[in-house]
């Protein structure tokens, strides 16, 4: 959530920053509601002050022995009752204006970082670096991950569709084992890197999705349990961040580094016709997520470390990838700066996203009211939140099935996974 005081004090600067995202954002309704709210607050404050004066005056007169039925005291009581009625009328008006203002504020995305490159869409993203070209398979005729998986009988699509619907798959035998091995390996790696493992709820309430930015804008992207105020988690970023919602932390507790394996659920609204086969764009998928709550002064450095933590998984697996810095036009709603990791898929001859590492600054912390206090300093500050996939399991499996595919249509098990699978070939 954007700081209303910042918008009030620097409207033109905010307009310019929002314009970098490519969409027109009109601050006029926001300004009008903010003015209304402040006018109502001023009026209420003045009425309350006068009401307090009257109460005090009546008390003093009664204490000095005045007749409670005297014209003076009765006149004050009449005025006091009138003020109470006015205050009672103002309260719902003020609440409604505040509700409208808050709803409007929730619709605005984060401001891009000054260092985020400008651009209109993904075509303007900037490639930062590549790694692992020497590990790219040199032979021709590599099957796609879904074709080799179905041929091996380790990925089952048609029966999964029978159980659920399209964009669901089932993993059988070595497929399930490979998925489990990847999960365990990634968690072990991130724990060794200093993250504390969490097993959070995967059913989450609306307030949690609102805090991290999925609601209200992206309601159609998530699955809701209609009988309850609960949603299937689209990413562990949501429950991990919301563990600290409405809390004031001690500065000594920062940074907080969490990792979690969870199943994730997304409708993929608006993506119909894209990647309809395979593990790239499913309604249900597994992911190891990394989340950080940090001191604002450490935000940028922690972001770079987060990217490195995600890269370390790909490097250990010897999967070729590249790092892309997203431009302002392709930036996620809650992020002010973001790097995508894209893994090489030889069957398509292209890189595909496998992790998105975002710095959200204090945007989510404001929405979720997550603050910290430093010793010897007055007041509190909002933490900065960061998140990234470490990694998306299904997409990692797809990359392994293609990059480690042998000529006899078996799969060489990456060396780091062999202790988990206790075999060298699938």
Please report, rounded to a whole number, the percentage of residues in the chain having pLDDT higher than 70: 98
Q: What average pLDDT does this structure show over 391-397? A: 96
CA distance 320 to 258: 26
Q: How confident is the model at residue 55 (pLDDT cuts 50, 70, 90)?
A: confident
Domains and CATH numbers, the chain: 26-106 (1.10.287.40), 122-421 (3.30.930.10)
| pLDDT of residue 80 exceeding 80 | yes
Coil/strand/helix, residue 213: coil
pLDDT digits (tens, 9 = 90+) for 106-155: 999 999 999 999 999 999 999 999 999 999 999 889 999 999 999 999 99
In the predicted structure, residue 240 carries a pLDDT above the cut 60 = yes
Task: Using DSSP, state whether 277 is helix, strand or coil.
Answer: coil
Taking residues 400-411, report their average pLDDT: 96
pLDDT score, position 71: 77
Tell me the C-alpha distance between 204 and 231, whole Å: 5
Question: What digits encode the pLDDT tens for the residues 314-325?
Answer: 999 999 999 999
pLDDT of residue 256: 98
Q: What is the mean pLDDT of residues 303-323?
A: 98
CA–CA gap between residue 205 and residue 224 (Å, rounded): 9
E-strand stretches of 132-184: 155-156, 170-171
Q: Please check the confidence at residue 183 and state whether its pLDDT lies above 60.
A: yes
Strands (DSSP E) contained in 222-346 are 224-225, 230-232, 248-250, 256-265, 284-294, 321-325, 337-345
Sheet containing 196-197: order of strands? 126-131, 321-325, 337-345, 350-359, 384-392, 284-294, 256-265, 196-197
- pTM flag (> 0.75): yes
Instruction: Say how far apart CA 174 and CA 405 lie, in whole Å.
Output: 14
SS3 category, 289: strand
Give the pLDDT score at 24. 79
pLDDT tens digit string along 338-355? Answer: 999 999 999 999 999 999
Confidence of residue 270 (pLDDT cuts 50, 70, 90): low
- Residue 340, pLDDT score: 98
pLDDT-derived band of residue 63, with 50, 70 and 90 as boundaries? confident
Mean pLDDT for the chain?
Answer: 94
Active site amino acids: 266, 281, 353, 356, 395
C-beta of residue 303 within 8 angstroms of C-beta of residue 116: no
What CA–CA distance (Å, rounded) separates 79 from 50? Answer: 10
């Amino acid at each position: 959530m954007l700081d209303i005081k910042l918008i009030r004090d620097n409207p033109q600067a905010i307009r310019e920053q929002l314009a970098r995202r490519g969409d027109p954002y009109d601050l006029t309704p926001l300004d009008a509601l903010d003015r209304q709210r402040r006018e109502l607050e001023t009026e209420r404050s003045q009425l309350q002050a006068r009401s307090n004066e009257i109460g005090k005056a009546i008390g003093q007169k009664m204490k000095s022995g005045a007749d409670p039925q005297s014209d003076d005291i009765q006149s004050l009581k009449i005025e006091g009752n009138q003020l109470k009625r006015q205050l009672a009328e103002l309260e719902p008006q003020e609440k409604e204006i505040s509700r409208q203002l808050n709803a409007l504020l929730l619709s605005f995305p984060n401001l891009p970082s000054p260092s985020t490159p400008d651009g209109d869409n993904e075509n303007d993203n900037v490639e930062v670096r590549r790694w692992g070209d020497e590990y790219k398979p040199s032979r021709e005729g590599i099957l796609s991950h879904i074709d080799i998986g179905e041929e091996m009988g380790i990925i089952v699509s048609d029966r999964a569709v029978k159980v659920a619907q399209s964009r669901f798959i089932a993993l059988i035998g070595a497929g399930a084992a490979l998925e489990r091995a990847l999960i365990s390996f990634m968690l072990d790696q991130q724990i060794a890197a200093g993250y504390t493992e969490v097993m959070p709820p995967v059913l989450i309430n609306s307030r949690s999705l609102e805090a991290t930015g999925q609601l209200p804008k992206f309601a159609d992207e998530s699955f809701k349990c209609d009988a309850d105020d609960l949603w299937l988690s689209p990413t562990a970023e949501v429950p991990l961040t919301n563990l600290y919602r409405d809390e004031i932390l001690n500065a000594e507790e920062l940074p907080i580094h969490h990792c979690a394996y969870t199943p994730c659920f997304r409708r993929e609204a608006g993506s119909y016709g894209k990647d309809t086969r395979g593990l790239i764009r499913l309604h249900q998928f597994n992911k190891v997520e990394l989340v950080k709550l940090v001191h604002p002064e450490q935000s940028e450095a922690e972001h770079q470390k987060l990217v490195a933590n995600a890269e370390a998984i790909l490097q250990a697996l010897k999967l070729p990838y590249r790092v892309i810095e997203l431009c302002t036009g392709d930036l996620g709603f809650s992020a002010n700066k973001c790097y995508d990791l894209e893994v090489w898929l030889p069957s398509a001859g292209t890189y595909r996203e496998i992790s998105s590492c975002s710095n959200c600054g204090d945007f989510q912390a404001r929405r979720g009211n997550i603050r910290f206090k430093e010793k010897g300093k007055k007041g509190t500050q909002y933490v900065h939140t960061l998140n990234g996939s470490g990694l998306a399991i299904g997409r990692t499996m797809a990359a392994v099935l293609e990059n480690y595919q042998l000529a006899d249509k078996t799969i060489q098990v990456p060396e780091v996974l062999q202790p988990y699978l206790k075999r060298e070939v699938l």
